[in-house]
Homo-oligomer: A and B are copies of this chain.
């Protein structure tokens, strides 16, 4: 592609400014090549079906075929984005023009780059979010497996890290499973907002052409279009921050689970055996097996939370219409998705590998853990609770330990250690997995239909 062609589009830009404005896009956009080609395929197809059409059906098919070849080239490592291209959009357009000549020069009719990147990020986000949902449901299942295996294994419940009440490994593990299921409701709300078509909003003000936004919506497998074209433009930044805020919730759940693991694998507890092959050693201390992975999850939860705040802040107070500030959100958005997914997978591995040590867990039951049970025993004898509480408190040194198993067996109310609905939660986890898989299949079917080759295989 000649420099001249590029310059027509982007003008002559000072080299340092170009480098600054292109930023990391030329690297990050490599992740968006497929989404960009898919979006362009939908646009080209639409251009051939609008009234009056801008392309003939044959022209549209030629463009789509060229886009598929770009996707293949990309998969083969033969697609580059040069600094002068600025981003994936121009890189693909220039490649098409090199392949198709004037036909390539007609593709951009009625759309803008902002339009494209917004579409790309939504397609990318869609697939990633479905991956998140599946991976979170797998982790929930692993936690439920652990809970089922150790449904009645005693584990002293703590508050303020101090021993508090009789509880079980089952209660502990399934609490995190239910937390993930709640989080998925937040993720699903983000998914639904993301699952909307913005293509056709051009630079945020529409075009004097009869572009068919409902058609591209259907071609791309989105649930429905964003209506107002300026709002379509304004969803950039907001959409990413809604998604990152949802991911931050998953990471919060993981961070607490990670903290528990870090604490309970200390030799002073030994509640869980940390699998050696999941720990890392020290360069100086030969004895060390450290739960680094759990620590990194804890830290990444802070990273994702701040990435959500970053997306919010970059968007805040921008004047109407597109502003370049939004480009800075691409990186935290893509990184936030990637690190949430990696954290989910790693925690699943850790949970599957953790081995509860029942002896150590039982040793954690001092007499104090049963103080409330003692007070409630007095209540059952007619003593007002506050009076019972007072009596137990005054005779703490005389307090005797109860049998943990008996104490646990008495907690039979909904959600208590003796009445965990593991089956019900497993069913919820299964539904989320199905939610993710069916939607991914539908998306692949829509893309296959659009490209005329089986996706994601491209065959």
Asked whether any CB of chain B lies closer than 8 Å to the CB of A296, the reply is yes
Of the stretches A74-82, A308-316, A447-455, the one at the interface is A308-316
Per-residue B-contact encoding for A283-310, CB less than 8 Å = 1, 0 else: 1111111111101101111110111111
Residue in chain B with minimal CB distance to A12 = B277
Asked whether any CB of chain B lies closer than 8 Å to the CB of A62, the reply is no
Could you say which residues of chain B place their CB within 8 Å of the CB of A384? 102-103, 105-106
CB distance from A301 to the nearest CB of B (A): 5
30 A-B pairs within 8 Å (CB atoms) are namely A17-B277, A105-B386, A111-B284, A159-B282, A159-B290, A160-B324, A161-B266, A162-B291, A164-B288, A171-B230, A185-B189, A185-B192, A206-B417, A207-B411, A207-B413, A208-B373, A208-B376, A211-B413, A213-B414, A252-B315, A286-B374, A287-B392, A287-B393, A287-B396, A288-B368, A300-B328, A302-B317, A309-B309, A313-B313, A317-B317
B417 touches A252 (CB 8 A): no
A223 to B203, CA, bound (A): 43
- Per a CB cutoff under 8 Å, which of B104, B316, B413 touches A301? B316
A414-B214 contact in complex given A174-B228, A238-B252, C-beta closer than 8 Å:
yes
8 new A-B contacts at CB < 8 Å, known A11-B276, A213-B413, A300-B328 = A14-B349, A112-B283, A162-B267, A206-B417, A258-B317, A268-B364, A299-B314, A305-B313
A19 to B175, CA, bound (A): 28
CB distance from A283 to the nearest CB of B (A): 4
B228 touches A280 (CB 8 A): no
B299 touches A225 (CB 8 A): no
A296-B327 contact in complex given A256-B318, A285-B203, C-beta closer than 8 Å:
yes
A35 to B295, CA, bound (A): 26
A161 touches B306 (CB 8 A): no
Asked whether any CB of chain B lies closer than 8 Å to the CB of A381, the reply is no
B376 touches A209 (CB 8 A): yes
Asked whether any CB of chain B lies closer than 8 Å to the CB of A193, the reply is yes
- Per a CB cutoff under 8 Å, which of B256, B283, B417 touches A205? B417
